[in-house]
Structure 1
Amino acid sequence: MKSHVPFVLISLFVLTVFSVLADSRSFSIDYENNCFQKDGKPFQYISGSIHYSRIPRDYWKDRLLKMYMTGLNAIQVYVPWNFHETIQGAFNFAGDRDLEYFLNLANQTGLLVILRPGPYICAEWEMGGLPAWLLHKPNIILRSADTEYLQAVSDWLAVLLTKMKPWLYQNGGNIISVQVENEYGSYFACDYNYMRHLHTLFHLFLGEDVILFTTDGNTDKEMICGTLEGLYATIDFGTDTNITTAFNRQRRFEPKGPLVNSEFYTGWLDHWGDKHASVDTEKVSKMLGEMLVMGASVNMYMFEGGTNFGYWNGADYDTRFRSVVTSYDYNAPLSEAGDPTDKLLAIRDVIKTFRDIPVGPMPPATPKLSYGFVTLLKVGNISSLLDTLSPQGPVRSQYPLTFEEVKQYYGFMLYRTTLPRNVPEPTPLISPLNGIRDRAYVSVNGVYQGFLERDTTLVMNVTGRQGDQLDILVENMGRVNFGTYINDNKGLLGNLNLGNDVLTDWLIYPLDINTAVASGWLQSDHSEVPPGPELEPGDGPMIYSGTLKTKGLEWDSFLKLNGWTKGQVWVNSVNLGRYWPQRGPQQTLYVPGPFLSATQPNNITILELERAPSHGRILFMDRPQLDNTGQKT
């Protein structure tokens, strides 16, 4: 029998070396010299935000390398709670959710990490990263010391922070600081007991040596409600702000220590129907240089934005509901597809004057290809496909139930009832309490009648006979991610009236379109509805399918849906996100090469919600179009 002593000795030696290395590593705040200290020496970070949840795993290394070659020495990373615990108690850190793999890639690349684990992150992400299942409790006060909310947060952080502790810099990893909550001063609650509870939890799971910080906007109110003794207070602002005024505000809350802009805005987000946002490159590079001259540590938000794949886009609510578009390009230094831009080159030129940047060329843009046109065939309307899309059958209820009550958190649900009387003349179908969340597509006996929309279209006319089938397909367009209204339930939140009659006796079908697509059940050759040789124009929610052959290449592309109205696209089993070219400004959807097959036909599935074009074509292009509000059909 062979001895295991040599192996044991080697293992002990490795552990000892690792322990010595970890003991020699430190990251702290030097309050006397107003700076960070890394391993006992003054340190200034130049960082960029990147969201692993918005980038295909296959491209993580490419994006991180481009950030490193720009001269960044750190990255800033949000952790979306709902991305990892979509169903309460079921934690997913595999595949595109493998946060530790992402941290390891950053470490191998030479990038330190500023971790922002929430539990709330905003980030223009669905519900600001909070899981929709929190809304099972109708009176829950999110982001507060509400007992049920705190219990859910504690359970989540026990899992997440335990995973993160080995990645702290002083433990041999690359996480140099950890944010507690996010821009809490912008929230109405201003609950210091909640922040104290988080403070305790973070120290419990991460230890006493970690730097914990807060980030808040550039106003006194935000800084007052968002900061807490024991958490280092940082500030965020963009190119429209006076640097001295902003850092003077931080100094009122942190008289000593490093100046930090945790979110220096290189760009901005888009909403459907708004003009494409952009921030001037010269202003960004000039202001970055001015902050670095002052010795400030700066994180650029975003450095690469990425994409709101699937149903992950958020929404804002000020005077009305505004849904965030699928692209999170953000006019950032790296484009949505990870391509270096003029803004990146300008930023690199600034960084060169403050620190040595890596020698060598910037990695090039990923290759793009215009695959050309694909013609789609009609599979069938939603009503005809319910057995496939909702195999568990309907939930019966006298009155409408919300998505959360049915535990269908994202996507679509179909509400079905019958007309209670003859309505030969156009009769108003009304949402009297503005209870549409967020868009409802109305059909009678399978014939599309029109739509209702949150805040803007609360009445439409229908006709029909008593007993006719009334179908209302409701789309969750993304929960509010910022401000007071993040407790954003979806579906029909109140009764619908037909004239003076309250509609009752509902069949409610949760639709699992992702599973149906992944199973191949929505391809035209699997459908019970025989497609015609050509696509016929159709109104209302309808499924279409086709195939793309990539000519042996798996290159990035951009999908343009000219003449299509509004809907959702899947390539193979991947939900690319929402399209709405008629409202804009986004006109194309990003199709990463790793989502395609070079050897097999690629299945394209579209849910068109209103009206498809008679030509039935979609176009795969080699460049994006993100800045056109509205289109001609």
Structure 2
Amino acid sequence: MTHREGLRANSTHFTLGGTPFRILGGSIHYFRVPRAYWRDRLLKLKACGLNTLTTYVPWNLHEPEKGVYHFCEQLDLEAYIRLAADLDLWVILRPGPYICAEWDLGGLPSWLLRDKNMKLRTTYSGFTAAVNSYFDHLIARVAPLQFKRGGPIIAVQVENEYGSYAKDEHYLTFIKEALESRGITELLLTCDNREGLNCGGVKGVLQTINLQKLSYGAVQHLADLQPQKPLLVMEYWCGWFDVWGEPHHVFCAQDMIAVLKELLEHGVSINLYMFHGGTSFGFMNGATDLTSYKPQINSYDYDAPLSESGDYTIKYHLLRDLLRGLQNEELPRLPAVQNKQVYEPVVLSQHISLWESLQCAEKPFRSDDPVNMENLPVNHNSGQSYGYTLYETTIYSGGALNSRNHVRDRALVFVDKHFIGVLDYRMQELVVPHSERERTLGLLVENCGRVNYGPALDNQRKGLVGDITLNHTPLKKFTMFSLDLAPSFINRLQSLRWRSTGQPPLYPAFFRGSLMVEGQPRDTFITLPGWLKGVVIVNGENLGRHWSVGPQNTLYLPGPWLKSGDNQVIVFEEHRAGSQIQFEENPQHGKITDVSRQPFCTLL
């Protein structure tokens, strides 16, 4: 197929191939959906009446260590884009390098932070050199998939919401030129919220807007900034994300449809963020820090039209009804719903303590002063990105242990392996019991997720980021163990001697059991009654955190990650284990808050 003219924004309406075109888009992130389900989710997007797929590209997954690139299996971006083309969907690619996305450090790799002078999202030479190297690999893969070369990519985004950051007036020009010099020839665009539009533009690039409610004349402001240009809501927020310890956010389906209906009636193009949110598996969730630090949960359900596990919702059906009226032909039939399975409860009959597991970690590192995660000499000197770091030192007295706010983000504190309390942003001092003898002080520090949006992005080194004191004296001579719970660590853990649960565990501890699956594996949700906080790993796949504070009370376990027969379940528990894990057909949330309960304004 020979394509002619690509997506153009030369009048108040888009054209594609020289004919009028309206973008009806939906965001689905390939990295948040098991590859086995990519086709299912994209078919459901198409059956809803949408014509365009949008996706971010997470730099920190594609280059997890400096100079080490991953673009295969779950991260096969080219296969994802080609699949969209096979299903007659267009693609808007959002390669970043910063993506926000409620994703750790907004998608930027943590090894950038090894440079003590690093200035993220600027033309600082250390950052631009890293971006150039990454783009050399990324853009070479996606450039052949552009519209003019026979592919489905009709537009490419220049960075993401830079108007809300705006640290460097030359930065967006650098990113634009980095894309164009590597062969990106399709329409370029930026996106910003209402407040960021004035600072988020760059010459020759179409500006678009992100919003949820039609308020403050946002769309009209965009129209005034760009007379005689088409209007695109690049992110229509049809839901919202959740943080640990706060209610689950929902957005009223009828209010969503009312906004979309008005946008469409005024000829505005739309992209639903998210159409299907999926899951931030493992340790990839981000965090907010606008007034205080709040880590996000693993579920990225987002109250989207397609649920976390790909189920249809009332939003989906209402949206499909709305979009059906814009089509010249019948919409495709709805793909079948994925069946769920409530498996029998699993008793985790073996355990091994964290302290015994240390022999499976990389060689410990010793230093007079504590070293933050990113600067540890591990992972081929790219540092530690995620998980936990254990800091140990010798103490000779008791008294006031003060973190000086240097714990990022949460530390379990032990004296001779006995838990004495937690240090975090709110609790910065503990009393260490007095003793005359030499003892080992341990701090198991967890990276709960790097901030993904806002000015705090520049201060996201994790672990211990400075001195901690005992009776006002800085502690010295630390031994540090990197515990990122990577697959290699979990594999080594298997060879150790596990104890039966008849023996009381020494916490924190790993617990192990077997889930028996008969026949074809199906999706399910894990629930952990009686457990307090930790991580769940099934067949080597890190599903994410469990934490009794909610709102996420279940973890999504995709059927393709199970097999017929025995499936290994490992739970890392920090505080207290329950007697078993159980399964549910549907996710369980705690208290719910509705983000739509505010007055609406008209568009124009």
Q: 1: CA distance between counterparts of 2:72 and 2:52?
A: 24
CA distance in 1, matches of 2:574, 2:417: 13
After superposition, what is the alpha-carbon deviation per residue over 1:358-412, rounded to whole angstroms, capped at 9, x for unaligned? Answer: 5443112211000021111342221121102x1x321000010000110111111
State whether residues 110 and 374 of structure 2, in contact with CA within 8 Å, keep that contact through their aligned partners in structure 1.
yes
Deviation at 1:357, TM superposition (A): 5.6
CA 1:568–1:41 in 2, change beyond 3 Å: closer, same or farther? Answer: same
How far the C-alpha of 1:449 sits from its partner, in A, is: 1.4
Structure 1 equivalent of residue 302 of structure 2: 330
Whole-Å separation in 2 of the counterparts to 1:575 and 1:551: 22
Is the aligned partner of 1:93 residue 2:71? Answer: yes
Deviates more, 1:439-448 or 1:474-483: 439-448
Task: Tell me the amino acid that sits aligned with residue 463 of structure 1.
Answer: P
> Which residue pairs with 1:232 in the alignment?
206
Q: 1:4: which partner in 2? A: none
1:610 equivalent in structure 2 = 575
Secondary structure of the equivalent of 2:392?
strand
1:259 aligned to which of 226, 231, 252: 231
- 2:290–2:456 CA contact under 8 A, matched in 1: no
C-alpha distance in structure 1 between counterparts of 2:329 and 2:120, whole Å = 43
Q: Is the 8 A contact 2:46 2:332 kept in 1?
A: no
Distance of aligned partners of 1:396 and 1:358 in 2 relative to their CA distance in 1, 3 Å threshold: farther
**2:535 aligned to which of 568, 590, 613:** 568
1:156-167 equivalence runs, <5 A? 156-167=134-145
* Correspondence for 1:354 among 326, 332, 335: 326
Bigger relative CO (Cα 8 Å, ≥ 6 apart):
2
Q: Aligned partners of 1:110, 1:181: CA distance in 2, in Å? A: 26
Amino acid of the structure 2 residue aligned with 1:230? G
CA drift at 1:529: 4.5
- Aligned to 1:205, what secondary structure does the other structure show? coil
User: Does 2:412 align with 1:441?
Assistant: yes
Q: Please give the secondary structure, in 1, of the residue aligned with 2:116.
A: coil
CA distance change for structure 1 residues 257 and 139 in 2, over 3 Å: closer, same or farther? Answer: same
- CA distances 1:449-503 after superposition (whole Å, capped 9, x unpaired): 12111x2111122225332122211111111000111130000011111223321
Q: Distance in 2 between matches of 1:420 and 1:142?
A: 41
Amino acid aligned to 2:72:
A
Pairwise CA distance, 1:512: 4.3
Do the aligned residues in 2 keep the contact of 1:379 with 1:527 (CA within 8 Å)? no
Q: Is the 8 A contact 1:64 1:106 kept in 2?
A: yes
> Which residue in 1 is equivalent to 2:432?
462
* Matched residue, 1:588: 554
- Which residue is equivalent to 2:27? 49
- Write the distance in 1 (CA, Å) between the matches of 2:551 and 2:322: 31
For residue 432 of structure 2, what is the amino acid of its counterpart? V
Question: Quick one: structure 1 residues 450 and 357, their matched pair in 2 at CA, closer, same or farther if it must change by over 3 Å?
Answer: farther
Task: Tell me if 1:498 matches 2:465.
Answer: no
Q: Which residue of 1 aligns with 2:586?
A: 623
Q: CA contact under 8 A between 1:116 and 1:179: conserved in structure 2?
A: yes
Taking a change above 3 Å as real, the CA distance of residues 585 and 512 of structure 1, as seen in their structure-2 partners, is closer
Shift in CA distance, 299/564, structure 1 to aligned 2, threshold 3 Å = same
Q: Please show how residues 23-62 of structure 1 align to structure 2 within 5 Å.
A: 24-31=4-11, 34-62=12-40
How many Å separate the matches in 1 of 2:334 and 2:498?
Answer: 51
Partner residue in 2 for 1:366:
338
Whether the aligned pair in 2 keeps the contact of 1:541 and 1:607 (CA below 8 Å) is: yes
Query: What is the rounded CA distance, in whole Å, between the counterparts of 2:268 and 2:6 in structure 1?
Result: 20
SS in 2 for 1:105: helix
User: 3-state SS of the aligned residue for 1:135?
Assistant: helix
CA gap of 1:586–1:512, structure 2 versus 1, over 3 A, is closer
SS of the residue corresponding to residue 485 of structure 1 reads helix
1:142, distance to aligned residue in structure 2 (A): 0.6
Which of 362, 367, 370 is the matching residue for 1:397? 367
Q: 1:283 to 1:522 in 2, by over 3 A?
A: same
Contact 1:545 1:604 in 2 (8 A): yes
| SS of the residue 1:120 aligns to | coil
Cα distance in 2 for partners of 1:410, 1:92 equals 17
Q: What SS class does the counterpart of residue 513 from structure 1 fall into?
A: coil
Q: Does 1:304 align with 2:304?
A: no
Q: Which amino acid aligns with 1:594?
A: P
Identical counterparts, % of pairs: 38
Q: 1:452 aligns with which of 409, 414, 423?
A: 423
TM-score, structure 2 as length reference: 0.94
1:414 — aligned with what?
Answer: 390
Question: Distance in 1 between the 2:349 and 2:290 partners?
Answer: 40
- Name the counterpart of 1:291: 263
Name the amino acid aligned to 1:440: A
Do the aligned residues in 2 keep the contact of 1:188 with 1:483 (CA within 8 Å)? no
Would the aligned equivalents of 1:444 and 1:464 in 2 still touch at CA under 8 Å? no
Q: Name the residue aligned to 1:557.
A: 524
Specify the structure having the higher radius of gyration (Cα): 1
Offset at residue 25 of structure 1 (A): 4.9
Q: Which of 480, 485, 497 is the equivalent residue of 1:528?
A: 497
Q: How does 1:211-230 map to 2 (within 5 A)?
A: 211-219=187-195, 222-230=196-204
Shift of 1:270: 0.2
Cα deviation code 1:142-191 (max 9, x no counterpart)? 101111111111111121112111111111000111100100011151x2
Give the equivalent residue in structure 1 for 2:597.
none
For the residue of structure 1 that corresponds to 2:326, the secondary structure is coil
Alignment CA distance shift 1:428-1:356 (3 Å): farther
Give the residue type in structure 2 aligned to 1:323: P
Number of matched residues? 584
**455, 460, 464: which one pairs with 1:484?**
455
Partner SS state of residue 264, structure 2: helix
Q: Deviations over 1:189-248 (max 9, x none)?
A: 1x22111111111111134x41100000012xx112111111111111103x338x1121
Among 163, 170, 177, the alignment partner of 2:155 is 177
What is the DSSP-based 3-state SS (H/G/I as helix, E as strand, rest coil) of the residue aligned with 2:456?
A: coil
Question: What is the rounded CA distance, in whole Å, between the counterparts of 1:59 and 1:86 in structure 2?
Answer: 24
Paired with 1:325 and 1:535, the residues of 2 have a C-alpha distance of: 32
Q: Post-superposition shift, 1:26?
A: 2.7
User: Is residue 205 from structure 1 mapped to residue 179 from structure 2 by the alignment?
Assistant: no
1:65 counterpart SS class: helix
Contact 2:353 2:506 (8 Å CA) reproduced? no
Correspondence for 2:563 among 597, 602, 623: 597
SS at match of 1:86: coil
Contact 2:6-2:187 within 8 A present in 1 as well: no
Residue ranges of structure 1 left out of the alignment (5+ in a row): 1-17
SS at match of 2:551: coil
Aligned 1:71-110 pairs, distance under 5 A: 71-110=49-88
Provide the aligned C-alpha RMSD in A: 1.6
- Is contact 2:350–2:513 with CA below 8 Å preserved after alignment? no
Q: Distance in 2 between matches of 1:535 and 1:214?
A: 58
The CA distance in 1 between the partners of 2:485 and 2:232, in whole Å, is 44
- Once residues 25 and 524 of structure 2 are traced to their aligned partners in structure 1, the CA distance between those partners, rounded to angstroms, is 29
DSSP-derived class of the 2:545 partner: strand
TM-score (normalised: structure 1): 0.90
Cross-structure match for 1:14: none
Equivalent position amino acid for 2:190 in 1: T
Say if 1:49 and 1:76, in contact at 8 Å, map to a contact too: yes
Counterpart secondary structure, 1:469: strand
Residues 357 and 579 from structure 1, CA distance in 2 versus in 1: closer, same or farther, beyond 3 angstroms?
farther
Unaligned ranges ≥5, structure 2: 377-382, 593-604
Residues 464 and 96 of structure 1: is their aligned pair in 2 closer, same or farther, counting only changes over 3 Å?
Answer: farther
User: Secondary structure at 1:229's aligned position in 2?
Assistant: coil
Distance (whole Å) between structure 2 residues aligned to residue 428 and residue 52 of structure 1: 48
